Amino acid sequence: MKIFESKDGINYIRRGQMIPTETVVNMPDFHLIENRKAIGTLIESKGLTEWSFSLSANDVVYGLGQNMRGLNKRGFVYESFCSDDPNHTPDKRSLYGAHNFFVVLGEENWGLYIDFAGKVTYDIGFEDKNQLKITIEGVDFDAYVFKGTFESITKQFRALIGPSYVPPKWAFGYQQSRWSYEDATVVKEIADRFDSEDIPCDAIYLDIDYMERFKDFTISDERFPEFKSFVKDLKARDLKLVPIIDAGVKVEEGYSVYEEGVEKHYFVTDDKGKPFSAAVWPGKVHFPDFLNADVREWFGNAYHEMLEMGIEGFWNDMNEPAIFYSEKGLNEAIAFVSAQAGQNLDIYTFFTLKDKIMGLSNALSDYKAMWHRMTTRSGELKVNHYDVHNLYGYNMTRAAAEGFKRFDSDRRFFMLTRASHIGMAKHSGIWTGDNHSWWEHLKLNVQMMPSLSMAGFLYSGADTGGFGGNVSAELMVRWMQFSTFTPLLRNHSAMGTRRQEPWQFDQATLKIIRDQIRMRYALVPYLYAEFMKANQDQTLLFAPLAYAYGDSRSLLVEDQVLFGEGLMLAPVIEQNALGRYVYLPEDMVLWKASSVENLNQESFVKMEHGDHYLPLAINESAVFIRKNHLLVLTEPRNRVSKLSYDHLTVIGYVEDEATYDLYDDDGVTNQFEKGIHHKTRLTVVRVGETYRLSVDTTVTTLGNIELYIIDKNGKTHHLKQEKGVL
């Protein structure tokens, strides 16, 4: 083992020769530290590494990205092993992502990133409340140890992994999905209904039923005839279609993707070198070997035909990879079940029989039976899938992202994926997977967003309303109130569940949801600016209160989060609740957000530091503006592309002075990477008993600005600036 240190104090630990993940893209200059003892206690035994650290009584542990339980991960066991599991219950140790970064705040603040392709288990004070024990299923890995403040630790880590994925700006609009809108007629009806109900929308998703018998890169002529024209017609209405692509390629003679993959040896193999066979939606499939550079280029180019038809984005799914069953596993299960015919089964035999069937899906034995030809700098490396499992979905999406660049290197395309690894944060956004219409999953969504920001996944969000189960009108509204601030705002639900489009509820609920989506569109310039600044500055878009506040009480808050530089969100997350308790780490201004059309001087209330009970009607959500910060709104429109700076509303809690930089760019190209963007600096200064606004802008079409400024005494000042005159 070798330990290095950077000038910024990052310790880099290198043990053996790890399988490359290509996650770290900005390696600092390190120098070797002689005779440095290992940080924590490292024990290697039987091909595993156990790494233990002491925890003080008041230490709080944040991170691990997409995983179960609260903001503070202390007191349970978690795994980094991408898992296709739709039942996100508290006993689950892993979901779809492998995000090996966490931060410990306490007597000493430190963070750790483990760069490793396989399974890692974290016992965070479960077996021993005073110990954090990490089990790495291997002995070759890299690790990075950070020290400093919460903000500095996350900045150092984010600098290592590089900038996050930036979608086109339309992706900040509302997106409607269901498994499935089964044909073109239904999709058109959905689009028409959004317009007739005057509800903003930018995208409609196509789930697996748009394909010809679930075959990747095919379109059903029966259900979607004249697909290219259909896409063109929707684009003329400024609506995007987002089709799904799955990891498994159907085994079928005459299917070009399958035949070319077999001919060129592009599929993951079994131990005999033959394409590994398993089953997903279309029945038997082979899995492309995305860890091979030639395969990534081939699969990435396959997206081009649909891009040429006018498609501007995709969502990759089932890429853990999800396996319903393998041929070997199914044959063994059938043989065992057949042998029990006519038998008098006792409890243990029956449970064994049951487990044989239930254990067919995503079996570890199947993952261990798959082999890759992984491309590395030194050539191809034969590796077992189990050892690189967490890289599979990451490299599928990498293949797509690289394919998009070959199609048009300067254009942003929309990319969303289910399985993920930290290295994928530069290629795609993620959604949090197959959640349920449970209040517990709304709370989980709130708690997961800061962990995802820490892992570099800024463009993220949940299936609003829940994917599985039947959503109530109340849960739909409360979830929408929180999702108004998540970069991804997608309403997605499963086949056989209650429909979740906004008009599927009573008229009162429809109005609340319409108002909430209109509020989202009014917020898009602000949300986009906060997103881009968090990306460029390596700050967190969502954060625990402890990110900005050092008091011990903030460490205990589990259901309030900071958003961007100036807001705190306190969503209602309990059924039948018409209010909630909140903790304010400092004086803040409350906006009981319900509609952007009814703003007035009574819309804002200054609240003092401390604990409060806050009444919130079903159409109200709690948005808090932090001291000396500004919130910017525009007039809502029904498409993101129609939003403008013709009329801005600025809301602020200002004691003496507050400044906000409203970032903007063309929202379509990658020119922002070259620094080509617009910036409007809004500065509000107290002058005597009133306030003055100054504007420094590169936006040529900036129009009138209306201000609601709350002073330290709680008085709201309503001012208007017309063409530069206040």
Residues designated as active site: 317, 320, 434
Task: Check: CB of residue 440 under 8 Å from CB of residue 449.
Answer: no
β-sheet bridge partners, residue 610: 584
Closest-CA residue to 478 (of 505, 442, 433):
442
Residue type, 637: R
Q: In this structure, what token pair is assigned to residue 419?
A: 């399985």
Q: Looking at this protein, which amino acid is placed at residue 6? A: S
Query: Closest Cα to residue 530, out of 559, 567, 561?
Result: 567
Cα(351)–Cα(655) distance, rounded to whole angstroms? 67
Q: Which two three-digit tokens encode residue 514? A: 């319409």
DSSP 251: -
Decide: residue 590, CB within 10 A, 0-12 exposed, 13-18 middle, 19+ buried.
buried
Contacts of 347 (CB under 8 A, 6+ apart): none
Strands 76-80 and 110-115: unpaired
**How is residue 693 written in tokens?**
């606004």
Question: What does the angle CA 304 – CA 308 – CA 309 come to, to the nearest 5 degrees?
Answer: 120
**714 exposure class (CB count in 10 Å sphere: 0-12, 13-18, 19+):** middle
CA distances from 30 to 6, 25, 39, 561 (A): 4, 14, 17, 35
Q: Are 475 and 418 in contact (CB under 8 A)?
A: no
Query: Is the backbone peptide bond immediately before 56 cis, with ω within 30 degrees of 0?
Result: no
In the structure encoding, which two tokens stand for residue 302, read together?
Answer: 């396959």
Distance CA 285, CA 252 (A): 9
Beta bridge partners of 681: 661, 696
> Can you give the three-state secondary structure of 421-437, one letter per residue?
EHHHHHCCEEECCCCEC
* Element spanning 485, H or E: none
Helices within 197-316 (DSSP H only): 227-236, 256-263, 293-302, 304-308
